[in-house]
Structure 1
Amino acid sequence: MSSPSRGIVQLPPIDAPPPKTFDIRKYKTAASTLLRSGRVNELRRLNRTLPACSLPVKILQRIFIACAQTSFQIPTWTWLELTFVCSTWRQAALDCPELWCYIDFSHPKWTTLSLHRSRMFPISVRAMIEPNNQHSIHRTLHHAPMIRDVHLISSIYDIGPLIGTLKNPNRYLESLRINISRPDHDHGIRYSKRSTPICVSPLPSMKYLELHRTPFSLVSPRYTNLRHLSLHHLPLSECPSRPDFLALLERFVMLEHITLVHAFPKTAVAGSYSSARAIHLPTLSTMSLTGSAQELSSILECIVLQPTGRLHCHVDRMGDYKTHFVRLAHVVGSHFHGTAREMSLDTLVLTGREESLRFTEGHALNPDFRQSLRLRAFGGTEIVEPLLDLVIGPDMHTARDEAIVFALTSVWSALPLTDIHSLTLQNLDIITQKSWPKLLPSLRSLRVIDVAGHPPSGLLWALLLNARSHARLEHDDMSSMLLPTLEDIYLHNVDCFAGGLMVSSSGPVNSYCDLDDSRFLDVLSAYLEDRQQCGLAVRSLSLSRCSNVSMDILKDVRGCVSHLLWDHRGLYKEGTVKLATGSSAVYRSNWPGTEPLAFRHYFRLRTLLDLE
């Protein structure tokens, strides 16, 4: 076995855990005692009455295989213990050669036994590498005639002796997963650059490669039929140059899925804006990228995705978002503009998420507050997966609503949205009336708005003021009407008494000192009435599992829509709530309340009606 110092350098050793005991005498003694007691037949009859012992053999074997596939991640347990539960389970295990292909490395005795019973089938090497099994794994990787897949979990200290072997894997290998646990200091990962003899013959069986914190040299050009490449947290010392990275990818002509999580070429990390040639991978259908906006842009500029391909982007480090996010939005938008004829976007789903309370008890902004925004764009009703799945945040910059709104506006303006017919908003209420008019004009074909969770008061006020301005016109010019084709509105789990954010005349996008006491359903009713006066009545309004629904407002809405549907959850009786004298709006628990008095509140809808 190679010395641990050959795989890595300049890293201190760690204490090895004690080896697991294997005492066959205990099993023999227990079996002899059971036989002498005369209770074997009694126990067999008892086992026959247990449902678990009377399952069909095929079902048992499928359960055993599922256990064998994952049990290596539980250090205190081995799947071979299943074979000692009862005679039925043991016979089912012995009659399943595929089960014994999952070699048990918890003890040399189990390793020898499972290798012997695999009966020359392609084996699976799955283990958490420890000093007590390092030699067995090394020997198996070297001498096993056929290895189907390898899945190793290891510390940086124990993987060293196996690196050379993993660079020259078994020629029958189909899947390779290496997960190096995160060390105390990521900058301390330094793999040895000592060269190892590498064969040049291709390995056409390899289909799946997933690497976490490993040397980049494990991505071999010999994998000529590779379908799935997944790289995670590539050490900085292992990052290749962008030309070398693209040249290697270009060899994988059968590649279908690429996943890069903080594993980008050096030029992307260094911030180079120099142009690079774009590579075409004819079968590439999915790209999943996680990193900064700058890193994602540098990669997307160089890889051409198929027209029906799916793009998953997670920007978890915004940095200078006003510079880098515009570039990312341009690259993403260019792809979808180029594929609009073959696969146009028709559904948008926006989801907001807050990681913690926005304010402290003293109504100060919580320093630990983080939020994220997820945008999903779908290309057709028959397609379940989104063509674009973009997550923004959370990081320190997204604690400010301005960063979220700027990022959304950048992507929104870059995408071809003229064919969008459905817009879904989930817990997204931070976009105020000031920002929505920049987004809505591109949705000229929108027919459905679906709202869930926090009500988007900013959207509603933008629509209301726009419709009111057109309802008072003496001519029929509707060219500036927002959402002229809107037909249906759906509300799910919405607090209809909720108020919203006002627009600050200066400063940040949102002002938490100015809150609107107008209730959401009241504003919606006013919008529907004004839209009807414009000759563009909405076809239907549906309320499902909503709270604080006023029957008085529903009566007003009934005259503005052709179809009104609601359930009786949270419904107020007739006459109990009035628009002019009712209580003010309610707010989320993590927004400032009515105290201290420095926070100002306005009943915008009442003021608007009084002006008439």
Structure 2
Amino acid sequence: MTLPAPLDNITPKSANTLVEQSVVHIDNELAALAESMRALRSRRNSLARISCLPPEILATVFKHIVGGEGLNNYTGNYHCPPCLKVTHVCGHWRRVALECPSLWAYIDWISPCWIVVMLERSKKAVLVVSCNASTLPRDSLERVLSQLPRIKVLRLHTYLSDIDRVLDHLSSQPAPLLQNFKFSVIGGDSHLASSPMSDTIFQGQAPQLRGVELTTRSVSWTSCIFSGLRTLYVRRIGSASSSTLPELLSALTRMPDLERLTLERLSISGGNNVVDRVPLARLKSIVLSVAIHTSVALFAHLALPDDAKIVLNLTEIEGHQNFSDLFSAMDAGSGKFGPVFRSLRVCLLSLSSVIQFSTSMEAKSPTSWNASDDDIRLSIQFAWNASTTIHSPIIFDICRMVTQGKIRSLSVSSSMIIQEPFWRAGSTSLPELEEIQISSSSIGDLLLTLQSQRDMGYRSLHALDLNDIDFQEHELPELHSTIIIRKKLGASLHRLRLASCRGLMADDVELFEEDVEYVDWDSYEEALESESEESYGGCHCPECRNPSSDASADYFF
């Protein structure tokens, strides 16, 4: 585009009036071009296939994107609302977004400056709110909590020093639409006194509340929030006074449809007027991280479905009697768990152990163990004080108490040397065991148990899975000898799996293949050797890498 002839010859040295007229004319032309480009882009966007989607479908897609991007967890950082992205694509998308109130209902760790906008654009839509009540400006917090009657999900984090102020806000109005409530106390002085979750919260009116998650110092079990729940998680922090058993049980009687119960670090004292047993007929899982005596007291007054998953993290273990009391309280003697368990998974540490009973025969690496796995019906982690002596064979005492069924698979992990009494106890308790998986431990004492001709252990064993084993010089010949002895005595190994094992080479594996039907080796040691040679340009033994070193010095690949 060219300038009109009268303006074409204007230069910076021309008269000011002419220069100004020329600039104004050019600016007008640029504005017109910009508007033409905007109109063309808008027209081009309207020809895209996605423009065929009805506004209600577009809005559904937008809500799915925004809901998926919600952080839902404490991060400490605020951000811009994700729904803003769709308003900057084109005019059509912006109109659809602005006409969809529920798209603006996710006040999920958003910057305080956007809260007013979100509340206005969400109109009367139900809200999902996540924020730190202590770091959010007070006026912003008041604006958000003034909307309690239309909040569906509320996740609040607060410092201990601000609990009373936040609870006052939560007690100012009813919450008729609230379905999930999370309240977490973070940081602060552990010596500060704080009020419990009072009976006046939500003015006693939260009829649709189904999920509660509390991390706080003290709890009032008479609060309205402990009624009609399907999910309850309570974790105590600090050294607040204990709850009484009647208080807790009374609250549970108001939750007949409870499906998931988690109690962590609770101290529960006895009391009068304890009910016989609280029926929780729909419970799918219970997780307790408490002292053993607390767990016993609680199970003695709960009636659970036979298929409920149980996860226990127990402290203050003193010995065999603790578990006898526990399973007696759980009423497990009548075959509560029965023959459903097929595998036993064990992790042995210096002052704690983990034992898991699974309905699956699948061998899993201990690093992948997860008590929430569908096949793990009972998981127990227990710890004891250094002044207490707990012998590892207690694992099999627990096994006998839990199930009379036929455990077919045993998985053991430990950084310690597992001694022969453990393996002997296992052989006695698990006579029909078919598979053993051992990880990160010495296998010397296991081999002694497997190769004894006078009293050979695990006669039904046909599969051995060795993972992350650092073979000592004598252990490979002993393993081969064990395989031969068992073959001669009619107790052959049919499958040998060797994964991530050190000190093992191809020649050793070839010997095993002569006497074992199926050997699975991942060539781990050879892979390491190949990598080292590439890294160092040749042999990696001490003599080649450092000729002055002692060839007998310890080294590993």
* TM band (smaller chain): 0.7 to 0.9
User: Where does 1:82-481 land on structure 2 (aligned, <5 Å)?
Assistant: 82-83=84-85, 86-88=88-90, 93-94=97-98, 96-103=100-107, 110-130=114-134, 133-138=137-142, 140-166=144-170, 169-185=174-190, 187-191=191-195, 196=200, 203-213=206-216, 215-217=218-220, 220-221=223-224, 224-233=227-236, 236-237=239-240, 239-267=242-270, 277-315=276-314, 317-318=315-316, 321-323=317-319, 326-328=321-323, 330-332=325-327, 335-340=331-336, 344-352=340-348, 372-380=352-360, 384-393=374-383, 397=386, 403=390, 405=392, 408-416=395-403, 418-427=405-414, 429-464=416-451, 467-470=452-455, 481=456
TM-score by length of 2: 0.72
Distance in structure 2 (CA, Å) of the matches to 1:252 and 1:194? 18
Following superposition, the deviation at residue 100 of structure 1 comes to 1.0
Structure 2 CA distance for partners of 1:111 and 1:396, relative to 1, 3 Å: same
Kindly state the Cα deviation for residue 234 of structure 1 after the two structures are TM-superposed.
5.3
Q: CA deviation at 1:444?
A: 1.7
Distance in 1 separating the partners of 2:420 and 2:196: 57
2:458 maps to what in 1?
A: 483
Amino acid at match of 1:141: L
Superposed displacement of residue 287, structure 1: 0.8
Q: Superposition RMSD on alpha carbons, in Å?
A: 4.2
Contact 2:393 2:425 in 1 (8 A): no
SS at match of 1:229: strand
Mapping of residues 494-573 of structure 1, within 5 Å: 494-495=469-470, 497-498=471-472, 518-519=474-475, 521-551=476-506, 553-570=508-525
Structure 2 match to 1:66: 68
Q: Distance in 1 between matches of 2:458 and 2:66?
A: 56
**What is the distance in 1 between the residues matched to 2:145 and 2:448?**
66
Instruction: Please report how far the alpha carbon of residue 123 of structure 1 lies from its aligned counterpart in structure 2 after TM superposition.
Output: 1.0
Deviations 1:386-427 (A, max 9, x none): 11112234x7639x9x54726535533433254111111234
Report the alpha carbon displacement of residue 558 of structure 1 after superposing the two structures with TM.
Answer: 3.9
Structure 2 CA distance for aligned equivalents of residues 60 and 205 of structure 1? 27
Structure 1: give runs of 5+ residues left out of the alignment.
1-33, 354-369, 471-480, 499-516, 573-593, 597-612
CA contact (8 A) 1:125 1:149 kept: yes
Question: How much does 1:565 deviate?
Answer: 3.6
CA 1:441–1:181 in 2, change beyond 3 Å: closer, same or farther?
same
Shift of 1:524: 2.2
- SS across alignment from 2:228: coil
Does the 8 A contact of 1:330 with 1:411 survive in 2?
Answer: no
Question: Is the contact made by 2:437 and 2:464 (CA closer than 8 Å) also made in structure 1?
Answer: yes
- Aligned residue-pair number: 476
> What is the one-letter code of the residue matched to 2:278?
I
Q: Give the aligned residue type for 1:216.
A: V
Q: Secondary structure at the match of 1:312?
A: strand
Supply the distance in 2 between the matched residues of 1:72 and 1:274 (Cα, whole angstroms).
40
Listed one character per residue, the Cα deviations across residues 537-587 of structure 1 (whole Å, up to 9, x for unaligned) are 222223244333255544553454333343444369xxxxxxxxxxxxxxx
1:605 is matched with none
- Mapped to 2, the partners of 1:246 and 1:146 lie a distance apart of 31
Quote the offset at 1:289 in angstroms: 1.0
Query: Between the two proteins, what is the percent identity of the paired residues?
Result: 19
CA distance in 2, matches of 1:527, 1:67: 56
Distance 1:59 1:143 in 2: 26
Change beyond 3 A, Cα 1:381–1:35: farther
Structure 2: how far apart are the matches of 1:236 and 1:40?
Answer: 69
Distance 1:351 1:37 in 2: 73
One-letter identity of the residue aligned with 1:441: T
**What secondary structure, in the 3-state scheme, does the structure 2 residue paired with 1:412 have?**
helix
User: 3-state SS of the aligned residue for 2:220?
Assistant: helix
Following TM superposition, by how much is the alpha carbon of 1:281 offset from its aligned partner in structure 2, in angstroms?
Answer: 1.0
Write the distance in 2 (CA, Å) between the matches of 1:328 and 1:285. 22
Q: 1:114 to 1:571 in 2, by over 3 A?
A: closer
Q: 1:293 to 1:145 in 2, by over 3 A?
A: closer
Preserved contact between residue 71 and residue 78 of structure 1 (Cα < 8 Å): no
**Cα–Cα, structure 1 residues 522 and 99, in superposed 2: closer, same or farther, change >3 Å?**
farther
* Cα separation, partners in 2 of 1:559 and 1:539, compared to 1, 3 Å: same
Give a deviation string over 1:28-76, Cα, whole Å, max 9, x none. xxxxxx989959959x97xx99xxxx99966665343333444874435
Output the CA distance in 2 between the equivalents of 1:210 and 1:412. Answer: 33
Query: Match for 1:305: what amino acid?
Result: L
* Deviations 1:308-350 (CA, angstroms, capped at 9, x unpaired): 11111113x43xx325x63135424755443457652111112
In 1, Cα distance between the equivalents of 2:228 and 2:406? 38
For 2:228, the aligned partner's letter is N
Q: 2: CA distance between counterparts of 1:104 and 1:567?
A: 47
Range with bigger deviation, 445-454 or 407-416: 407-416
Q: Is the 8 A contact 2:108 2:128 kept in 1?
A: no
8 Å contact from structure 1 (residues 330, 414) kept in 2: no
Q: Write the letter of the residue equivalent to 2:482.
A: Y
Match of 1:157, SS? helix
Cα deviation for residue 435 of structure 1 reads 2.8
CA shift for structure 1 position 286: 0.8
DSSP-derived class of the 2:297 partner: helix
Alpha-carbon distance in structure 2 between the residues aligned to 1:567 and 1:547: 11
Moved more, 272-281 or 225-234: 272-281
